[in-house]
Structure 1
């Protein structure tokens, strides 16, 4: 934290967003340092330099707040960090020591971070006044497709409590309270709450040296090195995006300021479009959604009923065909019986050849079997339905069952048996059909990229 830093003194207007500074010190990063930088912050660089400038113009990363975005001499500012009270700016530009360079920070990005950081202080202050919870983590991302900030607490909130806290933050915003800086010099303490006269403030870790406190009257006082608005009214609006349990407490995802306004506007447009498609006002969306859920549930129940009936019919058809085939074999053996054929019959070789259906083809339903295997092709069914059919039929059929579903390339596959170890069969399919998957002895699942020709050839050679 640098008390005299320009990033604390300069506001968010365009006039204050640029200044000429002098390069005081320069360092070129080694290949190893460039590689590590790229891994940590992204990007690929042939060369990379870091500079110490004549004034602390850009905000460095710290306190859960990312560093400023901007440019130096027209080159993109890649990163800013503070080391031993000095700021170092990273860029690809090759500048010279003593050179005067024009520096610019991204006004919108600075303002977005200030709005969100101040809103987080208000929220955490209201939590501290009402609950015995501590803020255990804070992170901001005010860029990209999904801008947000996350705050962790070592306790949990009810839906009603979150609603009241959200309303409370927006009430403080409307009061347009001042957001003040207070500095304590040379203090050192390891307690979670410290007092200096009338000042009592939050802190997440032990601090030493000069301490900067952000104070919002009757709401919050917290040690902080981040940028903030001057008055709470500048924030505009605050919203909680999501809530989830995290470790022994919770994690809240929230947004404030212009970014929150844009997010809420987008959400309202989506809700209005949804409501229009339902021919209902957007205020009735919850009721309409419940009605849709009920209809979907009814359809799912109807689908489950149809699936159950289909499984029963399929089971009856296969058992009937197996019995007919068994009788055909027995009748043929009686007619053609000789001592030689009799001995083959007793060995069970004839009973193993139970041809069923015809080669698999690209239609809604086809089946094909040889020896103790039956392959079912059910093109319109997903993996869950295939698992259900396989688990049901493998227990009632005297065969090992392979259920196939449609994929863009190849088949999704579930195989089961009440007697055979299907993991062994899966290994065979892996060798012959490039099957990828896994499972238990009784049933395996996965996929293969082969077509009907390769699948039918595999079945014929079993």
Structure 2
């Protein structure tokens, strides 16, 4: 996380271990400003919500933590009104609420101690992780974001390189080892430094990471023998306060990777929930949770066997259907040019309806992949265009194919008459339509 310019060394939001009444303070409103309609629209577009009016205030002390560098601002209240956002502009903090207070008024300010603690636990854990990466890999931290509120708390960290599964496991274990050592998390301030654009920097005996060019006063967060990094975020006092750290997921991202992780109380709650789910899954399998991988492999094998069986049945069904249609076509007199097979489609397991040079197949239990397989197979052997329909909650899945006809033109016709949405190539198209059987049969009778 990068340091913001002109951070205030004595800011109240840097005080650690705050709880109870310490998390509230009566402050003076030094300046008040009402946002214009255009500013409110921009605020809503960026942060969500719905507001008819918004006000921002400059308070007598730096009490609330401002958004910056990947860490969201504090949650809290001003005189009972919800704190919507906190930002720093030109070295001054501005607090946003819907409530209107006059300049010079004294207001009771409170911040959410749990939310502040969650952010501090996760931010310190991210420093440990990034510090270990810097020690053992030639990668740089290229992005950081935290979300410690809502139903899916997490933080994401981007690196300009990739890790193996074993390396991630070792890094996760390394972070938890540092947490157990209960090392101090120190603040160091460098005053009035000139701009430096390198990702690593040394001032006197102090060497530290930085993610962008910094100038002015610099705040450094140091964890002895683990990490030293320029940072404006909130942190715990000792690594032991974090408790636990876990990597939630890993994915390739741009030219490197993105790690989703969690630490502290939020990680403990997430791991507890995961363990309960695993225990419930194990109980349903009548196996101890330690044997879940083996049980899962067994289930996968059974599913594969069922899929193989299903594919065999499908192949046999396609052959029978092909034979039946070809036989029926052959039995018809050659002088009858109008094709008519089956009867109007019905909501049953299988039905077919053909007219002119089109054959509609309704296959209620099959998904899109199976429909594509059937259509691709039969369109090559049948002297007509084929439209395979599958069941959806509303309407049909549609796959249409032909050996001769350009089905993209047919798709356009479906779009005009049946609100078909989809696409494909000349030989075969796929998509869906929301109409029912009555509309589909009427389309066949009227158009074809």
Tell me the distance in 2 between the aligned counterparts of 1:215 and 1:49: 37
1:403, CA displacement in angstroms?
Answer: 1.0
1:294-340 Cα shifts (integer Å, max 9, x gaps) = 111111111111000000000000000100113695xxxxxxxxxxx
Q: Which has the higher contact order (CA 8 A, sep 6+)?
A: 2
Tell me the distance in 1 between the aligned counterparts of 2:408 and 2:123: 55
Tell me the distance in 2 between the aligned counterparts of 1:12 and 1:297: 56
Task: Indicate the SS of the match to 2:333.
Answer: helix
RMSD: 1.2
Task: Indicate the SS of the match to 2:334.
Answer: helix
1:256-295 Cα shifts (integer Å, max 9, x gaps) = 0000000000000000001111111111111111111111
1:73, CA displacement in angstroms?
Answer: 0.5
CA contact (8 A) 2:184 2:238 kept: yes
Tell me the distance in 2 between the aligned counterparts of 1:133 and 1:10: 31
CA contact (8 A) 2:386 2:401 kept: yes
Tell me the distance in 2 between the aligned counterparts of 1:252 and 1:90: 32
CA contact (8 A) 2:341 2:352 kept: yes
Task: Indicate the SS of the match to 2:109.
Answer: strand
CA contact (8 A) 2:357 2:385 kept: yes
1:451, CA displacement in angstroms?
Answer: 2.1
1:91, CA displacement in angstroms?
Answer: 0.6
1:404, CA displacement in angstroms?
Answer: 1.2
1:397-429 Cα shifts (integer Å, max 9, x gaps) = 011111111122222111111111112222222
TM-score, structure 1 length as denominator? Answer: 0.93
Tell me the distance in 2 between the aligned counterparts of 1:390 and 1:401: 7
Task: Indicate the SS of the match to 1:326.
Answer: coil
CA contact (8 A) 1:12 1:110 kept: no
CA contact (8 A) 1:151 1:251 kept: yes
CA contact (8 A) 2:16 2:235 kept: no
1:458, CA displacement in angstroms?
Answer: 2.1
Q: Which runs of 5+ in 1 are unaligned?
A: 330-351
CA contact (8 A) 2:16 2:237 kept: no
1:448, CA displacement in angstroms?
Answer: 2.0
TM-score, structure 2 length as denominator? Answer: 0.96
* Cα 1:313/1:34, change in 2 over 3 Å: same
1:356-400 Cα shifts (integer Å, max 9, x gaps) = 111211111111111111111111111111111111000000111
Tell me the distance in 2 between the aligned counterparts of 1:197 and 1:454: 80
Q: Which runs of 5+ in 2 are unaligned?
A: 1-6
Task: Indicate the SS of the match to 1:52.
Answer: strand
1:179-222 Cα shifts (integer Å, max 9, x gaps) = 11011111124222222332111111111111111111111111
Task: Indicate the SS of the match to 1:160.
Answer: helix
Moved more, 112-121 or 127-136: 127-136
1:144-173 Cα shifts (integer Å, max 9, x gaps) = 111001111111111111111111110111
Out of 351, 355, 363, the residue aligned to residue 370 of structure 1 is 355
Moved more, 315-324 or 187-196: 187-196
Residue in 1 aligned with 2:298? Answer: 291
